[in-house]
Structure 1
């Protein structure tokens, strides 16, 4: 039967004498047919949809075209790329061939400078913000800094609370880095700074000296007879820092002691600048200058060496001009000098500082016993501070307009008024002197609600200076 099937299947006829040969040929044919059938089945067992190949596209220099994964139910289908390189391969599960993204390689990334101190966010108004808790506390203490004057050394004088040390100024919409003493001294190598003004300027300089002392202690190289004007030197960077006592910025003859007790009216020459600072002006690279509260004192005004009026001088038969007139005239003279000077130093005008006397003022028992900052909207400036601030902003705007397009000459505004208004807790108060309540009961205690404890809120002014002058 098998023979018959083989003969019937075979395409030609064979003789009996070729029986063995026929069997051999049939076997070969059957084996070939089986091999062909088996191979055909092996390539068509289960049809699979083809995975289309991604077209090769021209990629920009230093970029890698990476297929963007479609969102699937399995979260592990996401791709995380950390440090891509041109030869990097990324396994994917579900590809969308028509969608690609470009990943920038490290070669095209902008590398910030070492020690870059600038905020990561966009620029904003650094003078509008809030005081926020700062658990790390101040950058120095009254034990690590030895240039704090006794009137501002609140902890040594016995102030019992310390909460006022744990706040930081935080502008809205951007970050304000803390002052970097190392970077400041490095950038100010062979440079000189001067703070010109009244006792608040001296207060500010002491704060800066204390922060810089973390890196290097300054050497005092000069002081005047009353120790009100001083100069310090930092040998490692050849940086010098000066404070010049000039509370009116214009020429003045005063008749009062260190406690502010006057025996006669101040003689104020509104059209003559104080030579104590103008004679040194061109020797400085950076200047922080300010005025303010001294113009509230009783004064007789001179212009062209002639009395033109006064501020608060009853019984003198003089025209009452008011402190606003005297302050505006003085600022106009000061700012005009700065604008027209051939020297190209950078000048920072600092606005005046509000006080926080309650239930009186400096001379009649005013106090400041608060222990926390105000929040925005909880306090308003008094009429006097509003007038001072308006004069400053108006005259500063005129000075900037007068500069025109002169890019070499620069003047900037350090607006410390409103942020200082929110810190009634930062003043020495009764702790202007050591152990103020150690005396007999009922004795009057003098409160200082104008100057600032060190360390204290005024330290944040240096963060602002760093941002305004160094980082801008």
Structure 2
């Protein structure tokens, strides 16, 4: 059931699967939702200070957060990063409505697949929806590569599945894996992908684990040992992985049931000279977003990987893939990372470790509440645009794929917006 093992199932009472009040909640009485037109590029805009409507939840009120991302509890002295709302240039971004979202999730499975940044986004989504769920009718079960949040009143699950390269690798154990000796098997995906079948919403990512070296160690086909590998240029290995991934989707996913999304690069902030702070150390002591919107901020992303994802999505005719571009908006948020206020190997950073921020500051993951809440706001907008119960504002017939310009790219490469 849902790919969990017998021990997990044994822990769940029969009440977890029988829901006499499953139809108690509905959104029929809510006003119609005004969705942005598909021509509006939600990825282009600005961060607006707003201490009234955000954050959508409080850190202390979401007991499901891991200690890695609870920056206030971990001693961060400022809290300004929480009070910024994303405003697209040409339309309004709907506020996340947990009840409306969970109605769309009724009887469904949503699964994030990827690395710890997708887990960061999964935690955010759990915190966004959990306030409307009754006490005792919500829980998280963690087993191996699966983290599963059960929303019992809706017969729904919000899941995270650990697969940092999407394909098989020597880093597939979420608790024990190599950092320096990462090896992938780009043609092998089934051990992961068998767990993605029968999911209604799949949200993928993979990027940050590719950035340690210019070359990636690739296990030789048909070899028995990870030690039998060759070093391959990063972009070449990335292309091999996405060939395997897209082929699997085409062969195994029913687009009438499953919607597929891909999250673009989540921005690490490692080089403060890029945003005009040559004396800074990574994201340490940053308390405000970068706000010079007329001056592009180059954070040295490998945009070849971004382009490759876009092009693969563009080519997916049988199983549409919606690319959710979070990169530009996240670039501005140098202030919102966990930094020195996080856990490392199960413990808070020690005072001595904090004295060495170049080594120990985490400028990759995000404090919650924070930036991943906005990613989920966009995901929410996309899902409601697709939902069959939203008959008036979201037509059921497929609409064309619009390729919107991407200002980061030379040559005007865009991303696929499917409604």
Range of TM-score over shorter length? 0.7 to 0.9
Counterpart check, 1:300 vs 2:214: no
Q: In the alignment, is the contact (CA less than 8 A) between 2:290 and 2:334 conserved in 1?
A: yes
Match of 2:366 among 434, 452, 459: 452
Match of 1:291 among 190, 194, 206: 206
Q: Which moved more, 1:446-455 or 1:321-330?
A: 321-330
Q: Which moved more, 1:375-384 or 1:192-201?
A: 375-384
| Cα deviation 1:401-437 (Å, max 9, x = unaligned) | x33xxxxx44211111111111111101111148746
**What TM-score, normalized to structure 2?**
0.73
CA distance in 1: counterparts of 2:251 and 2:383, whole angstroms: 21
Counterpart check, 1:243 vs 2:160: yes
Q: In the alignment, is the contact (CA less than 8 A) between 1:188 and 1:239 conserved in 2?
A: yes
CA distance in 2: counterparts of 1:451 and 1:442, whole angstroms: 20
**Displacement of 1:383:** 3.7
CA RMSD of aligned residues (A): 3.1
**Displacement of 1:379:** 4.5
Counterpart check, 1:281 vs 2:174: no
1:265 matched residue in structure 2: 181
CA distance in 2: counterparts of 1:254 and 1:394, whole angstroms: 27
Partner SS state of residue 450, structure 1? strand
2:315 matched residue in structure 1: 398
**Displacement of 1:229:** 2.1
1:57 matched residue in structure 2: none
Q: In the alignment, is the contact (CA less than 8 A) between 2:220 and 2:229 conserved in 1?
A: no
1:219 matched residue in structure 2: 138
Q: In the alignment, is the contact (CA less than 8 A) between 1:379 and 1:422 conserved in 2?
A: no
Aligned length: 339
Gaps of 5+ in 1: 1-111, 311-315, 404-408
Counterpart check, 1:326 vs 2:241: no
**Displacement of 1:369:** 2.8
2:56 matched residue in structure 1: 139
Larger Rg: 1
Q: In the alignment, is the contact (CA less than 8 A) between 2:96 and 2:377 conserved in 1?
A: yes
Counterpart check, 1:349 vs 2:262: yes
Partner SS state of residue 322, structure 2? strand
**Displacement of 1:259:** 9.1
Q: Structure 1 pair 318/206, CA: closer, same or farther in 2 (3 Å)? A: closer
Counterpart check, 1:159 vs 2:70: no
Indicate the structure whose relative CO is greater, using CA pairs within 8 Å and at least 6 residues apart: 2
Q: In the alignment, is the contact (CA less than 8 A) between 1:273 and 1:334 conserved in 2?
A: yes
1:339 matched residue in structure 2: 250
1:149 matched residue in structure 2: 66
CA distance in 2: counterparts of 1:326 and 1:374, whole angstroms: 33
Partner SS state of residue 283, structure 1? coil
Q: In the alignment, is the contact (CA less than 8 A) between 1:115 and 1:183 conserved in 2?
A: no
Counterpart check, 1:129 vs 2:42: no
Q: In the alignment, is the contact (CA less than 8 A) between 2:164 and 2:172 conserved in 1?
A: no
**Displacement of 1:222:** 3.2
Q: In the alignment, is the contact (CA less than 8 A) between 1:186 and 1:237 conserved in 2?
A: yes
- Which residues in structure 2 correspond to 1:20-59 (within 5 Å)? none
**Displacement of 1:118:** 2.1
2:337 matched residue in structure 1: 427
2:89 matched residue in structure 1: 172
**Displacement of 1:442:** 4.8
**Displacement of 1:246:** 0.4
Q: In the alignment, is the contact (CA less than 8 A) between 1:358 and 1:368 conserved in 2?
A: no
1:200 matched residue in structure 2: 117
**Displacement of 1:167:** 0.5
**Displacement of 1:336:** 2.2
CA distance in 2: counterparts of 1:122 and 1:296, whole angstroms: 32
**Displacement of 1:119:** 3.5
Q: Structure 1 pair 257/281, CA: closer, same or farther in 2 (3 Å)? A: closer
**Displacement of 1:319:** 6.2
Gaps of 5+ in 2: 1-27, 274-280, 386-418
